[in-house]
Structure 1
C-alpha cells in the first residue's frame, strides 16, 4: 500500500478537513504529524517507509531524502519550495510539485492590511486605547504615495491591483517582468536602488533564492527614505534582520511590518520595537487558500498513483510533465 505522510501545523491541517478521507479513497495509507510537535529525529525515523511526502515549512533536505529509501514524490502544501532540495530530489528520481498562486489573494490581502497598519498606526492605536490611553496618532494617506514592489509574481500583481484602487504610484523590481500586467496596472519596472530611494512603502514578495538572500541589507536600507515603511510577506531571510532592527532602533526608516522572520518565532528584540508590526507567518492562513491547496494536493496524488501527468512540477531544468510515476507503485497494490 502507498504510504502518504503530511507534516503540517495542526492549525492548517484542521482547515483541510477532507484531505485524509480523499487520500484514503485512493487506497493509500495516510498519516498526519503535527509539525509543531514532531522533532526532527522522529521525522527521520518515520519517513523511511513513506512513498509520498506532503510538507509545509519543514526541510526536505539531503538528510531527509537519504533517510527515505522508498520516497518517490515530495509535494509542497503551498507555493515556495525553498525548503526542498529540488536538485537532489531530481538526482534521486524523486518528483517535486507545489501549489503556486493558490494563496496569492490571501497573502496580498495581508500585505495590504500591513501597509494600511503602517500608514495609520492601527495596531499601536488599538493597543493604546485598550490600555486606557486616548492618544491620536497622525498618519499618512495612501493617495499619491509611491509603492515599491520587490517581486512581481502573482502576489506582487495582486498587491498592485489593490494599490491601484488607492491611487498609488507603483514601481517594481524583480527578475520576472510581466510587461502586459505592468501596463494594465500602471506599474513601472526599475532598478532596486531606484525603487528603494523613491518609495514611501516597500513591499517584499519575491521568492527566496541565493541571489535574494539578505537582498535588503544595511546598505540598501540606507537608500530608503527616512519616512519609508517596509513590509515583508515573502521569506524572512530576504531581509537582513539585524540590519533592519538597527535601522528601526535608530529611526533610519519610519517602520516595518513583518509576517516572516529569519527565525520563527522571532527574537524578542524585534517584537519589542514600537515601530515594528509583527504577525505570525499568517499570509496564507485563510480557509479559501487552504482548501484550494487541498484540492490540488489530492488531484496530484491521484494523478501520481494513476500514472498520469502531474501539475506544477518544479526542479532545476524542469521535470517532464508526464512522470510515468505509477510504475513505482504497481507492486504495492
Structure 2
C-alpha cells in the first residue's frame, strides 16, 4: 500500500482523483471508519503507507513511529496546524497542501454567515418551525464596516466579494499586501482599531502559536455591542469560554463559527440563540472538494513518480 487516505469522505464528488491513482498504478487504502480519525486511530491505520493524504487529523509522533515508510503528507486543504514540522524534519517527511482549492468556498461561507447574522435568517427559521411569525428587524450589510484578521488567499477573496456591498474594510495582517489593499480600498491598521470600529469581524488566520487565543475577553471588550464575530478559520483562535460569556452577557450581539477546538462540537455555546453553527464545512462545495482531492492526489502521484512537488510547504509559522 503506497497511499493511505485518512480524510473522509473521499472520491464522493468526482471520480478524477481515483482515476489518477489507478492510471498510475498506485495502490491506496481509504479511511474505513467513516469519520475523522483520532491520532491513535491514524497511527493504527497508516501502517506501511509512503504517502498520507491527510485531512485535519493531528499527526503525532506516534503516527510517525508507526509509519516507517512515510515520506510525504499531502494535506487536503490549507490548514497545517495538525502537522508538526519538527517531527516531519526528524522523520524525513515532506509536506504539501492545496492552498487555492478551498479559497472561494470558505470566503462565500463567511459572506453567508454575515448575511445570516445581519438579517436573522436562522433565527426566523427556528421561530417559524415553532409556529411563530415575527419579522425580525435586522441590519443592512451594505455600507457597514467589516474587519478582517488575516489577508491571505481567503481574506483577499472575502474582501473582493464584499466590494459589491460597498462596505468599508479594515484589515490587520503581519505582511500586508499594500497593492491589493490599494486596489480594493482596504485600510490596513492595528488589531485594536479593527476591533473597536468594525460592525462585523471575520477571522481568517491560520492557527499558530501567536494566533491561539487571538480573541479573548480583552478583545471582546473592545468590540461594539451590536458587532458580530465570524470564525471560519480554526478552533482555538477564538477563546470559546470567553465567546460564551461575551454572547451571554451582551458584550457583542452575535457570532457564527464553522470551526471549534474539539470537533464534533458539543459545548455550551450550543445553549445560545445568538450563535450560528456549521460543522467545519467551509470548503464543502462539490467544486472545492473535488479540487482539493485532485490536487492532493496529484502531489502524491508526483512524489511517487519522481517528479517535483508543486505545493510543498516547509513550515506553518
Moved over 6 A (4+): none
Is 2:43 aligned against 1:21?
no
Bigger RCO (CA 8 Å, 6+ sep):
2
Distance in 2 between the 1:268 and 1:255 partners? 17
Alignment of 1:203-242 (within 5 A): 203-242=202-241
Match of 1:321 in 2: none
Is 2:68 aligned against 1:73?
no
Distance in 2 between the 1:280 and 1:150 partners? 21
**In the alignment, is the contact (CA less than 8 A) between 2:146 and 2:169 conserved in 1?**
yes
Match of 1:245 in 2: 244
Distance in 2 between the 1:69 and 1:234 partners? 32
Match of 2:111 in 1: 112
Distance in 2 between the 1:317 and 1:297 partners? 18
SS at match of 1:156: helix
Q: Cα gap change, 1:16/1:6 in structure 2, threshold over 3 Å: closer, same or farther?
A: farther
CA shift for structure 1 position 61: 2.0
- TM-score normalized by the length of structure 2: 0.95
- TM-score normalized by the length of structure 1: 0.91
CA shift for structure 1 position 69: 0.6
**In the alignment, is the contact (CA less than 8 A) between 2:39 and 2:57 conserved in 1?**
no
Q: Cα gap change, 1:247/1:97 in structure 2, threshold over 3 Å: closer, same or farther?
A: same
Distance in 2 between the 1:164 and 1:267 partners? 35
| Deviation larger for 305-314 or 265-274 | 265-274
Match of 1:327 in 2: none
**In the alignment, is the contact (CA less than 8 A) between 1:153 and 1:176 conserved in 2?**
no
Any stretches of 5+ residues in structure 2 without a counterpart? Answer: none
Distance in 2 between the 1:284 and 1:161 partners? 18
Aligned residue pairs: how many?
A: 316
Distance in 2 between the 1:269 and 1:16 partners? 37
| Deviation larger for 260-269 or 69-78 | 260-269
Q: CA RMSD in A?
A: 1.7
Match of 2:135 in 1: 136
**In the alignment, is the contact (CA less than 8 A) between 2:7 and 2:36 conserved in 1?**
no
CA shift for structure 1 position 261: 1.1
Distance in 1 between the 2:40 and 2:267 partners? 28
SS at match of 2:222: coil
| Deviation larger for 231-240 or 171-180 | 171-180
**In the alignment, is the contact (CA less than 8 A) between 1:151 and 1:176 conserved in 2?**
no
Distance in 2 between the 1:295 and 1:37 partners? 19
**In the alignment, is the contact (CA less than 8 A) between 1:161 and 1:185 conserved in 2?**
yes
Distance in 2 between the 1:176 and 1:314 partners? 18
